[in-house]
């Protein structure tokens, strides 16, 4: 759900959009020490679920910087922003600042089974994008 982001708010996702995405898995060589922001005890440190949902990311990045400075914590475990049913499986691994380079030529396409899960579990319909003849463009009222 996270790669779809705000697109899921309308309850339909274009099958072409899913065709563009690749899913990647990552398994660290050694276990990571994570700050678990999904535990109730995190509230005692001022953590709320808003931390993983607020935009822009200045505040979450500031928290990550502080935790990274401890040199004990290697990342955080948190609830995903776009999956209301996420029990807290999202992980952010600390690394160099900035957007990470995405691997090319690897990953798994979103196949029929995952598309069915989107529809059955999340009630998000997967449909082809409409053609220009199927869309009515309204004139602005300004």
pLDDT score for 111:
93
Q: What global pTM score does this model have?
A: 0.73
* Whether residue 70 sits in one domain with residue 35: yes
My answer on whether 85 and 37 are in the same domain is yes
3-state secondary structure 13-82: EEHHHHHHCEECCCCCCCCCCEEECCCHHHHHHCCCHHHHCCCCCHHHHHHHHHHHHCCCCCEEEECCCC
* 124 & 94 share domain: no
User: What is the pLDDT, as a whole number, of residue 77?
Assistant: 92
Residues 73 and 89 in one domain: yes
C-alpha distance from residue 93 to each of 25, 34, 74 (Å): 13, 8, 6
Asked if 72 and 117 sit in the same domain, the reply is no
Are residues 97 and 40 both part of a single domain?
yes
Give the residue among 40, 75, 72, 44 at the shortest CA–CA distance from 60.
75
Residue 127 has φ and ψ, to the nearest 5°, of -145, 155
Question: Mean pLDDT for each consecutive 10-residue tract of the chain (142 residues)?
Answer: 80 91 84 92 91 84 86 89 85 79 77 94 90 84 83
Give the pLDDT score at 105.
Answer: 64
Same domain, 87 and 34: yes
Question: Is 128 within 8 Å of 17 (Cβ atoms)?
Answer: no
Number of domains in the chain: 2
**Cβ(96)–Cβ(77) below 8 Å:** no
Considering the domain architecture, whether residues 78 and 89 belong to the same structural domain is answered as: yes
Give the Cα separation of 138 and 74 in Å (integer): 50
Q: Quote the radius of gyration of the chain (alpha carbons, Å).
A: 19
29 and 19, same structural domain?
A: no
pLDDT computed for residue 125 by the predictor: 92
The pLDDT, as a whole number, for residue 124 is 92
Domain that holds residue 69: 25-101
Question: Would you state the pLDDT for residue 38?
Answer: 92
Instruction: Tell me: do 9 and 54 sit in the same domain.
Output: no
Does 120 share its domain with 92?
no
């Amino acid at each position: 759900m996270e790669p779809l982001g705000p697109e899921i708010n309308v309850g339909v996702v274009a099958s072409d959009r899913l065709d563009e995405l690749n899913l990647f898995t990552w398994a660290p060589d050694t276990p990571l020490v994570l700050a678990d922001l999904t535990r109730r005890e995190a509230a005692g440190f001022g953590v709320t679920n808003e931390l993983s949902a607020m935009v822009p990311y200045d505040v979450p990045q500031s928290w990550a910087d502080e935790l990274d400075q401890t040199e004990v914590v290697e990342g955080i475990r948190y609830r995903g922003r776009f999956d209301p049913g996420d029990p807290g499986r999202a992980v952010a691994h600390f690394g160099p600042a900035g957007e990470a380079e995405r691997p090319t030529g690897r990953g798994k396409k979103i196949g029929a089974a995952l598309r069915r899960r989107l529809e059955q579990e999340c009630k998000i319909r997967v449909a082809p994008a409409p053609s220009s003849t199927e869309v009515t463009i309204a004139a602005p009222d300004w």
